[in-house]
Amino acid sequence: MHRTGHMVMRSICLAAITALGLALAAGIHAAQEPRPEIEVIRITDALHMLGSGTTTGGNTAAFITEEGVVLVDTKLEGYGQDILGNVRRLTDKPVTTIINTHVHFDHSGSNTEFPDTVHFVAHENIRRHMARTDCQPLPTNCDDFQGENAKYLPSTTFSDRLTLFAGGPDQIDLYYFGRGHTDGDTFVVFKAARTMHTGDMFQGKLLPFIDAENGNGGSALEFGRTLTRAIAGVPDVETIITGHWETPLAWSDLVDYRDFYADLVRQAREGIDAGRSAEEVIASYAKPARFADYNAPESGTFSVTSIVNYIYDGR
């Protein structure tokens, strides 16, 4: 798997959105399209990252517990059998629990392809968005959960914090620290593995997409603060499974990512205080040398322009 960082990452997100959009527009089921394979990366014997590599959707975590396998996120529509096939190569145990980090179609796309006996767990705002009847298929796949499929809506929800399998080696802690990418972003911590899945609060080494346009509650203003709360509030984590990066990252990368984002917000705020226009701030944005690895394109979905405009709009 090639590792040319940000360019790969960016093409993953845009290609996934474009490919699925075209498939839907043509009335073709995404499962029938030739698709990239899932790449499995071992973190511990019990915990694996089912990576996206290219266009499989967000990273899935597969955690083997005493009672069965817990998945975090289910990639794009059509990937349910691929995920199950990979799980079967790791263990004979069935998938018993699915946690979603947020509402987007590339993280919950194949929820409804699992047995309906699975225990679905998510933040209360994720459930509310999934249950909507008025969303577009991109980026919120609420069509998946209508009618008969309402049985796939999360049966366990939480607002700030939830612990599953408390006290033993299987303990999983779910944290919500406020708005950011959406208003349901959940940080999922596998305690014994000292590993956290961040969902798209940390997609990889690039500026975030803020979903403020689709009723999903994202906030560029809150994004940095929410990351700071996560960094302060989650103890003893070493390894990070991001939303989309091809390999696991380290806790220090999460801290760098927060700093990278906070620096852009600071530059925007200084522009506001100095009476400069958003366009001037965008044109003069200078990325500090320590963030050389991080991608901050001037325009596009994951860009300086989009973040600065949101800060100027107070969103």
* CB of 231 closer than 8 Å to CB of 144: no
Question: Does residue 178 come out as left (phi exceeding 0), alpha (psi in the -120 to 50 range) or beta?
Answer: left
Residues in 137-196 that interact with Zn ion by CB under 5 A: none
In the complex, least distance from residue 91 CB atom to Zn ion, rounded to whole angstroms? 26
* CA dist list (Å): 116 to 65, 95, 96, 145, 152: 19, 11, 10, 12, 6
Identity of the residue, 175 or 209, whose beta carbon is nearer to Zn ion in the bound complex: 209
Q: How far is the CB of 106 from Zn ion (least distance, A)?
A: 4
**Least gap, CB of 126 to Zn ion (angstroms):** 11
Q: Measured from the CB atom, is 16 or 62 closer to Zn ion? A: 16
Q: Give the nearer residue to Zn ion in terms of CB position, either 243 or 271.
A: 243
Encoded one letter per residue, x for contact with Zn ion by CB under 5 A and - for no contact, window 96-135 reads --------x-x-----------------------------
Nearest to 79 by CA among 29, 113, 102: 113
The span from the CA of 18 to the CA of 224, in Å, is: 28
CA 186 to chain centre: 9
Please count the CA atoms within 13 angstroms of the CA of 85 that sit on its side-chain side: 8
CB nearer Zn ion, residue 245 or residue 312: 245
Taking the least distance from each CB to Zn ion, the nearer of 80 and 208 is 208
Closer Cβ to Zn ion, 202 or 312, answer by number: 202
For residues 108 and 152, is the Cβ–Cβ distance under 8 A? no
Least CB distance from residue 68 to Zn ion, whole Å? Answer: 25
Among residues 245, 172, 207, 171, the alpha carbon closest in space to that of 1 is found at: 245
3-state secondary structure string, 265-299? HHHHHHHHHCCCCHHHHHHHCCCCHHHCCCECCCC
**Degrees to nearest 5, angle at CA 136 with 122 and 210:** 65
Q: How far is the CB of 37 from Zn ion (least distance, A)?
A: 18
CA-nearest of 249, 260, 161 to 198 is 249
Q: How far is the CB of 16 from Zn ion (least distance, A)?
A: 8
| 3-class DSSP assignment, residue 56 | coil
Q: Which is nearer to Zn ion, 108 or 195 (CB)?
A: 108
204 lines the binding site for Zn ion (CB under 5 A): no
Shortest reach from residue 207's CB to Zn ion, in Å: 13
Instruction: Looking at residues 19 to 78 of the shown chain, list those that interact with Zn ion (rule: CB under 5 A).
Output: 58
Q: How far is the CB of 101 from Zn ion (least distance, A)?
A: 8
Contact characters 257-296, Zn ion, x per CB under 5 A: ----------------------------------------
Cβ closer to Zn ion: 129 or 191?
Answer: 129
Q: Please pick, from the candidates 73, 82, 183, 200, the single residue that binds Zn ion as defined by CB under 5 A.
A: 200
Closest to Zn ion by CB, 104 or 205: 104
| Residues of this chain, 227-256, that bind Zn ion according to CB under 5 A | 243
The distance of closest approach from Cβ of residue 243 to Zn ion in the complex, given in angstroms and rounded to an integer, is: 5
User: How many Cα atoms occupy the beta-carbon half-sphere of 245 within 13 Å?
Assistant: 28
What is the spatial distance between Cα 75 and Cα 66, in angstroms, rounded to a whole number?
Answer: 24
Residues near Zn ion (CB under 5 A) are 58, 104, 106, 200, 243
